[in-house]
Amino acid sequence: VSLPNENAPTHADKLLGGLLVEGFDQESCRSRYQSAMYRRNAGRQPSQHLVSKLRSHEALQRRCGPGTAAYTNALEQLKSGKSVVSPECRYLVSISYRGLGNRIIAAASAFLYAVLTDRVFLVDPSNGMDELFCEPFPNTTWLLPPGFPLVSYQGFYLSTPERYGKMREDGVLRTGEINGSAAGDLPAFAYIHLDHNQTDADKLFFCDDDQRLMSSIQWLVMRTDGYIAPGLFLVRAFQSELDALFPERDAVFHHLGRYLFHPTNRVWGLITRYYDAHLARARRVVSIQVRVFPWQADSPELLEQIKTCTQSQKLLPAVLGEEDDGPPAAAPGGAAKPTAVLITSLKAWYYDKIKGAYWERATANGEVVVVDQPSHEEAQRYHVKSHERKAWAEVYLLSTADTLVTTAESTFGYVAQGLGGMRPWVLRMGMINTTVSWPCSRDVSMEPCYHVAPVYDCRRREDAGKIVPHVRHCEDWPTGLKLV
């Protein structure tokens, strides 16, 4: 067991204000009850309504989830191809694909949809979802078990005949028709396609009439790699419940992420060993996420942007000229507590340069700065377990800091800011290598941006970023939507 962090809040509450339940086996998932000891920022308190809704949702998962008679019945119904008029339990299967950050924000927001619609949430276990995260629900499982009758569900895409948008376009499904008796004519499942190439008909998902229609379909299989939560806040039928669940609209992912995603012991080992070795004794920790692509050349402009951002915003001390020895050490003999800088990146070049700058030059205020980076994987590797574990450990480590600097547009950074409860300073260069005149700006909220969000309201009259005050366009992705 790792030593508690002496800088951690003394009121460290292992259940995070009731977000988590007591009673899980501690050894099988150490991170679950230890996370509060590693986060410098205590984070927000969940509403009482959210806490009780999660408890009742857990009960639903136990009553209807894998291994129950209700689940067996629902599978039979799925095989039959027809929906029942009032099924005992309804289900949402969430497909897992693309990078880790994408998978996490997608699963969190799909879970929110399941909670709002009283559906059992089952996550596709592929792409490491079974290996990276502990079970979030007590005495049941969130993993879709093997033997699911829709054998090719992971390959569902635009041409899948049961795609909801396609069935609406073809008139197979019509809104306003299903009152009671017609429900038996509905298909047993629909495939919700919310990938980047979704059609206008797929986007009807965010409309009230379509949500009413969908509520009569027992099984939904959803594909999204994005954070659909801002879109859910536009559905009128969900609004009063969302208001009660999240009186602080900027903390939706913060709570859902902390509730759902607990690193498994292997990953927790990576996190705690790094933390104890590099961060635990620091006076403060500044995390910097440098998202670059494997094929991009090392960029002196981006390096300059990181330096200007961190120094002009006073996140890190300025370095003096080569000839300037700086002020004498305030605590000679190694007694000074350093400021630790945690960098994550696929490349080592930025880390090497920043580390060098703080070794070769004195800081203006005498502050001791230690810079480190856990890994530099060079390439993005899919389906490689050790690579995925490092990525998850690094996202988590970023989230333990006092201060966070992220790269615009990156879901990897979004997860870190949300879990850590921090409004980051966003490096404007972003993943699309454009040069901009200002180095970074403070994000308006800690929420992830929903990149391929609906553009208009359901009647196609109003800009979706202007319908309700707490759903706005994102600064780093202007067509996207974000909770503020």
Q: Please identify, using beta-carbon distances, which residue of 83 and 344 lies nearer to ligand GDP.
A: 344
**Best CA proximity match to 288, nearest among 317, 310, 263, 258:** 310
Least separation in angstroms between residue 225's CB and ligand GDP is 8
**Best CA proximity match to 150, nearest among 239, 75, 234:** 75
Q: Please identify, using beta-carbon distances, which residue of 83 and 345 lies nearer to ligand GDP.
A: 345
Q: Please identify, using beta-carbon distances, which residue of 125 and 149 lies nearer to ligand GDP.
A: 125
Least separation in angstroms between residue 289's CB and ligand GDP is 6
Please tell me the distance from the alpha carbon of residue 476 to that of residue 438, in angstroms, as a whole number.
13
Least separation in angstroms between residue 405's CB and ligand GDP is 13
Residues whose CB is less than 8 angstroms from the CB of residue 387 and which lie 6 or more positions away in sequence, other chains included: 377, 381
Q: How would DSSP label each residue in 211-265?
A: HHHHTT-SEEEEE-SS--HHHHTT-HHHHHHHHHH-SSGGGHHHHHHHHH--B-H
Question: Which strand (E) or helix (H) includes residue 404?
Answer: strand 403-407
Q: Please identify, using beta-carbon distances, which residue of 98 and 307 lies nearer to ligand GDP.
A: 98
Please tell me the distance from the alpha carbon of residue 203 to that of residue 222, in angstroms, as a whole number.
13
Identity of the amino acid at 253: F
Q: Please identify, using beta-carbon distances, which residue of 167 and 194 lies nearer to ligand GDP.
A: 194
Q: Please identify, using beta-carbon distances, which residue of 163 and 390 lies nearer to ligand GDP.
A: 390
User: Residues in the site for ligand GDP, rule: CB under 6 A?
Assistant: 98-102, 291, 344-346, 375, 377, 380, 387, 390-391, 394, 410-412
| Shortest-Cβ-distance residue relative to ligand GDP | 99
Least separation in angstroms between residue 271's CB and ligand GDP is 12
Structure tokens at 186: 């509905």
Please tell me the distance from the alpha carbon of residue 143 to that of residue 122, in angstroms, as a whole number.
5
Other beta carbons within 10 angstroms of residue 402's beta carbon come to: 19
**Best CA proximity match to 306, nearest among 296, 293, 316:** 316
Structure tokens at 482: 């974000």
Q: Please identify, using beta-carbon distances, which residue of 235 and 279 lies nearer to ligand GDP.
A: 279
Q: Please identify, using beta-carbon distances, which residue of 140 and 345 lies nearer to ligand GDP.
A: 345
Least separation in angstroms between residue 101's CB and ligand GDP is 3
- Tell me which DSSP letter residue 143 carries: B
Please tell me the distance from the alpha carbon of residue 342 to that of residue 38, in angstroms, as a whole number.
14
Give phi and psi for 340, each to the nearest 5.
-95, 135
Least separation in angstroms between residue 269's CB and ligand GDP is 15
Q: Please identify, using beta-carbon distances, which residue of 312 and 380 lies nearer to ligand GDP.
A: 380
Q: Please identify, using beta-carbon distances, which residue of 237 and 346 lies nearer to ligand GDP.
A: 346
465 within 8 A of 443, measured Cβ to Cβ: no
Least separation in angstroms between residue 129's CB and ligand GDP is 13
Please tell me the distance from the alpha carbon of residue 15 to that of residue 46, in angstroms, as a whole number.
11
Residues whose CB is less than 8 angstroms from the CB of residue 147 and which lie 6 or more positions away in sequence, other chains included: none
Q: Please identify, using beta-carbon distances, which residue of 48 and 386 lies nearer to ligand GDP.
A: 386
**Best CA proximity match to 481, nearest among 460, 459, 457, 461:** 457
Residues whose CB is less than 8 angstroms from the CB of residue 262 and which lie 6 or more positions away in sequence, other chains included: 29, 31, 32, 35, 133, 134, 136
Please tell me the distance from the alpha carbon of residue 116 to that of residue 286, in angstroms, as a whole number.
36
Q: Please identify, using beta-carbon distances, which residue of 83 and 407 lies nearer to ligand GDP.
A: 407
**Best CA proximity match to 403, nearest among 309, 267, 269:** 309
Least separation in angstroms between residue 98's CB and ligand GDP is 6
Please tell me the distance from the alpha carbon of residue 27 to that of residue 1, in angstroms, as a whole number.
10
Residue with tokens 């079970």: 135
